[in-house]
Amino acid sequence: MYDQIITARLYKTMLLIRQIELRIAEIYYTDAIKSPVHLSVGQESIAVGVCDALEKDDIVSNTYRCHATYIAKGGNLFEMMAELYGKATGCAGGKAGSMHLVDIKNGVMGASAVVGTTIPVATGYALAMQNEAKITGKQRVVVALCGDGGTEEGCFYESINFAALRKLPIIFICENNRLAIHTPLEKRWATDQLCERIATFGIKTHKIDDADVFTIRDTMVNALADIRKGSGPIFIECATYRWLEHVGPLDDHKDDYRNTKEYQTWKDNDQILRLGKMLDEKTRIQLEDEVALTLQQIEKFAEESPYPAAEELYTHVYAS
C-alpha cells in the first residue's frame, strides 16, 4: 500500500493538471489563449505516475499534448500559463504556444507538433546521457512519450532499434488512447500487439491497461533502477482515454466516432476521484485549496504580463 504522503502528492499533481486544463477550456472562448490546445483531461495519471518516479535532472520529451508532462515534471507553471497567453514571460517568450512547451531547467525537452519527431531527438539526448554518465558516474534517464499514432511513424521503430542496440538510458512510453484525431486504432493497426512488436527489438516491455497511477509509478521505479544500472531501454504502453476533443476545449462525445459507454467506464476509473477518496478529508481539502490558489496566481500572472516587444521577432533565429 502507498503511504499517505505519496498518495497526496500524486493526487495533488493530477488535480493540478486537471484543474489547469479545465480552466484553460473554461476561458478559451475569451480568445485570451490564441493557441491550439490539445488537452490531456482524463490522461493525467500517466504523466504523474511517470514523472513522480523521476529525478529533477531526468528528462521528459513529449508531443503537442504536453501540458500534463510539463506540469508533472515540475515545469514552471507561471511560465506555462503566460506562454499560452502569448506573453513575453512565457516559457518560450510567447513564441511556442501550447504545442511546444519547454523548460530545460526542470528537465522538460521542447515539445513538437509534428507527430513522432521528438522520439529520435529524445533518443539522441539519451545517447548523450549515456556518455555523460561515464564521466559523472550518475546515469540520468530520458523518457520519450508519444501517442498510439506516434508509433506508426518509421522513426519510432528506428529509434527503438537504435536505443536497444546501444542500450541507451531511455524509457519509451506510449499513451494509448486508441485515437489519432478521430481515427480509431482499428483503422490504423492490423493487430493490437504493440508490446509484442516492440519486444522483438530485444527490449523489456510493460503493458498497463487500467491507467492505475500507482502501477505506472511502480513500473517506472523498477524500470529506472534497471536503466540506471545499464539495462538499456524499456517500453511501457499505458492505456488511457481522452475526455475532450483532439484539439480545443470541448467535450465531443456527441460526434459519432466516440463511444459514450467507453467514456463512462474510464470516468468511473478516474484516478483523481480514486485517490481523492483515499485521502482524509482534511488533507484533500487542503490540497484542493492549494491547487485553486495556484490556478488563480498563474492566471493573474499570465493576464498581467506584457506581450513580447517587436524586436523579439528576430531574437534566437541563430544562437550566439
Partner 1 sequence: MFTQVEKTPAQTEQMSETRLIRYVDALREAFEEEMARDPKVFLFGLDVDDHKGIQGSTIGLQEKFGKDRVFCTPLSEDAMTGVAIGAAIAGYRPIHVHIRMDFMLLCMNQLVNMAAKSHYMYNGQVKVPLVVRTMIGRSWGQGGQHSQALHSMFMHVPGLKVVAPANAHDAKGCMISAIRDNNPVIFIEHRLLYSTEGYVPTKSYEVPLGKARILTEGTDITIVAVSHMVMEALRAKKHLESVGINAEVIDPITLWPLDMETIMQSVKKTGKLLMVDNAWLTCGASSEILTRAMEMCQEEDISIPSLARMGFAPTTCPTTKPLENLFYPDARSIAVKAYQMTQGKKAKTWEPPVSANTEIDAFKGPF
Binding site for partner 1 (CB under 8 A): 28, 31, 34-37, 86-87, 90, 94-100, 112-116, 149-150, 152-154, 180-183, 187-189, 245, 247-249, 255-257, 307-308, 310, 312-314, 317
Is residue 187 a contact point for ligand TPP (CB under 6 A)?
Answer: no
CA angle, 219 as apex, 217 and 221 as ends, to 5°? 70
Q: How many residues in total does the chain contain?
A: 320
From ligand TPP, partner 1, none, interface partner of 179 (C-beta below 5 to 8 A by class): ligand TPP
Q: What is d(CA 243, CA 181) in angstroms, rounded to the nearest whole number?
A: 12
- Cell triple for residue 68? 500534463
3 state SS of 204: strand
CA angle, 174 as apex, 268 and 248 as ends, to 5°? 65
From partner 1, ligand TPP, none, interface partner of 65 (C-beta below 5 to 8 A by class): ligand TPP
Strand segments (E) across 51-169:
59-61, 142-147
Stretch that binds ligand TPP, among 121-129, 174-182, 199-207, 251-259 (CB under 6 A): 174-182
Is residue 97 a contact point for ligand TPP (CB under 6 A)?
Answer: no
CB 107 to partner 1: min, Å: 22
Q: How many residues bind ligand TPP (CB under 6 A)?
A: 16
Choice from 6, 88, 113, 278 touching ligand TPP (CB under 6 A): 113
For residues 107 and 249, which CB has a smaller minimum distance to partner 1 in the complex?
249
Q: What is d(CA 56, CA 70) in angstroms, rounded to the nearest whole number?
A: 12
106 in Cβ contact with 56 (< 8 Å): yes
Q: What is d(CA 104, CA 106) in angstroms, rounded to the nearest whole number?
A: 5
CB 72 to partner 1: min, Å: 23
Residue 94 CA to its chain's centroid (Å): 20
What is the end-to-end Cα distance of the chain in Å, rounded? 52
Q: What is d(CA 42, CA 26) in angstroms, rounded to the nearest whole number?
A: 16
- Cell triple for residue 299? 492566471
From ligand TPP, partner 1, none, interface partner of 177 (C-beta below 5 to 8 A by class): ligand TPP
Is residue 180 a contact point for ligand TPP (CB under 6 A)?
Answer: yes
From ligand TPP, partner 1, none, interface partner of 313 (C-beta below 5 to 8 A by class): partner 1
Show contacts with ligand TPP in window 13-72 (CB under 6 A). Answer: 63, 65
CB 313 to ligand TPP: min, Å: 25
- Cell triple for residue 157? 521503430
For residues 69 and 305, which CB has a smaller minimum distance to ligand TPP in the complex?
69
Is residue 155 a contact point for ligand TPP (CB under 6 A)?
Answer: no
In 10 A of CB 270, how many CB atoms?
18
77 in Cβ contact with 111 (< 8 Å): no
Stretch that binds ligand TPP, among 162-170, 173-181, 198-206, 310-318 (CB under 6 A): 173-181
- Interface residue list for ligand TPP (CB under 6 A): 63, 65, 113-116, 146-150, 177, 179-181, 246
